[in-house]
């Protein structure tokens, strides 16, 4: 008679074994879900979902929450660094000041150690709310808080905020509000081709390559490197006018004013861009032609010193 081995399992042991197997199955499913979140198509050129970090509230709503002389916490979206401010004034947006020298130091770190008019997407925490906003990093005007090592105030814009001097909205500020609210893609999807081109150029002006990429048709890692190179070599860039030349894809002549790094003079140049309609994704810019921005041989220096009027950046 052949030898036989019989495994005798008691009911209690069998129950434990089943529990262990159930736990293993649960762990495997959790790992799978984390590797590929449900509902996200990980195909080439697909974009990850935007994150809503702050509420998309209008300035009219914010003005009733963020009162004058109210303290708030400002969180920078890109670095997650935070600091405290107090609203001191502002009619169409909030004029604020850092509370302490430490808060001023953190703000300066966010701007890489140099005060700047560049806009940053931020979340303002006040009154138990988290509100999408945009700030600049340039001390200007008058200040009232003593001992904070900050001469003047800086500005925080919200949805529909305007600059005080012209009474107009600033596209750069609004773009950062969209970014903080997780609505950038939604906003540009509803735009026409000329508007998308202006958003692209404004993103480069603000040195926000991630936003610029969202306006491009099928962006690649190489294109990111190209945009980073452009952003690093220009100090300011602004659209003066855009003219359609028709065709399919539609071709546009884009007239720009540029101030290159390490130059005090402004230049004008024309670049040619094409735009395609991606259906539900809206209009996107074909990136061929952007490299012409760095071709200084085709630029013409100008003497108008008011093209980049920083006094209207926030006042």
Residue 246 sits in a domain whose CATH number is 3.10.450.50
Q: Pick the residue with more confidence: 115 or 1?
A: 115
Looking at residue 288, what is its pLDDT? Answer: 93
Looking at residue 22, what is its pLDDT? Answer: 64
Token code pair at residue 127? 């009154």
Highest-confidence segment of 20-24, 167-171, 240-244: 240-244
Q: Could you read off the pLDDT of 115-149 as tens digits, one per residue?
A: 999 999 999 999 999 999 999 999 999 999 999 99
d(CA 252, CA 25): 56
Which of 16-20, 81-85, 183-187 has the weakest average pLDDT? 16-20
Token code pair at residue 26? 């649960």
- Whether pLDDT at 313 is above 70: no
3-31 mean pLDDT: 59
Task: Show which of 178, 210, 241 is a domain's final residue.
Answer: 178
Q: Could you read off the pLDDT of 188-215 as tens digits, one per residue?
A: 999 999 999 999 999 999 999 999 999 9
Looking at residue 190, what is its pLDDT? Answer: 97
3-state secondary structure of 271: strand
Looking at residue 51, what is its pLDDT? Answer: 85
d(CA 280, CA 306): 39
Q: Specify whether 144 is located in the same domain as 203.
A: no
Task: Please check whether residue 270 lies inside any domain of the structure.
Answer: yes
| Count of structural domains, the chain | 2
- Whether pLDDT at 282 is above 60: yes
Q: Specify whether 152 is located in the same domain as 204.
A: no
In 64-168, beta strands by DSSP E: 71-76, 82-89, 94-98, 116-126, 129-137, 154-157
- Whether pLDDT at 11 is above 80: no
Task: Show which of 145, 178, 211 is a domain's final residue.
Answer: 178
CA dihedral (247, 250, 251, 253) in degrees, to 10, reads: 120
Looking at residue 8, what is its pLDDT? Answer: 59
Looking at residue 52, what is its pLDDT? Answer: 84
- Whether pLDDT at 2 is above 60: no
Taking the model in full, what pTM does it have?
0.82
Q: Which residues does 122 contact at the CB level (< 8 Å), separation at least 6?
A: 74, 75, 76, 77, 133, 134, 135, 156, 176, 180
Q: Which residues does 168 contact at the CB level (< 8 Å), separation at least 6?
A: 162
Q: Specify whether 138 is located in the same domain as 216.
A: no
Q: Specify whether 256 is located in the same domain as 291.
A: yes
| Domain region containing 271 | 191-312
Q: Specify whether 249 is located in the same domain as 174.
A: no
Which of 39-43, 172-176, 190-194 has the weakest average pLDDT? 39-43
Task: Please check whether residue 141 lies inside any domain of the structure.
Answer: yes
Neighbouring-strand partners of residue 210 = none
139-164 mean pLDDT: 96
**Band (302; pLDDT cuts 50, 70, 90):** low
d(CA 169, CA 157): 9
């Amino acid at each position: 008679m052949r030898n036989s081995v019989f495994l005798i399992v008691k009911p209690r042991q069998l129950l434990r074994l089943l529990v262990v197997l159930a736990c293993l199955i649960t762990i495997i499913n959790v790992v799978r879900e984390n590797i590929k979140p449900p509902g996200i198509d990980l195909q080439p050129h697909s974009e990850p979902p935007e994150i809503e970090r702050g509420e998309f509230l209008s300035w009219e709503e914010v003005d009733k929450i963020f009162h004058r002389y109210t303290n708030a916490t400002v969180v920078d979206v890109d670095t997650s660094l935070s600091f405290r401010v107090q609203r001191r004034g502002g009619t169409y947006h909030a004029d604020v000041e850092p509370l302490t020298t430490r808060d001023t130091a953190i703000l300066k770190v966010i701007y890489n150690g140099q005060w700047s008019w560049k806009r940053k997407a931020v979340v303002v925490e006040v009154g138990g709310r988290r509100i999408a906003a945009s700030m600049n990093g340039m001390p200007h005007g008058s200040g009232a808080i003593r001992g904070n090592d900050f001469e003047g105030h800086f500005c925080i814009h919200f949805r529909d905020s305007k600059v005080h001097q012209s009474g107009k909205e600033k596209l750069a500020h609004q773009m950062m509000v969209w970014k903080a609210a997780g609505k950038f893609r939604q906003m540009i999807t509803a735009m026409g081709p000329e508007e998308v081109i202006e958003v692209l150029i404004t993103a480069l002006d603000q040195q926000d390559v991630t936003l610029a990429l969202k306006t491009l048709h099928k962006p690649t890692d190489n294109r990111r490197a190209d945009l980073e190179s452009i952003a690093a070599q220009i100090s300011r860039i602004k659209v003066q006018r855009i003219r359609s030349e028709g065709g399919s894809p539609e071709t546009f002549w884009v007239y720009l004013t540029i101030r290159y790094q390490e130059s005090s003079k402004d230049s004008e140049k024309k670049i040619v861009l094409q735009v395609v309609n991606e259906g539900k994704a809206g209009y996107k810019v074909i990136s061929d032609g952007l490299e012409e921005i760095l071709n200084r041989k085709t630029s013409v220096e100008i003497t108008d010193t008011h093209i980049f009027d920083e006094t209207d950046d926030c006042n």
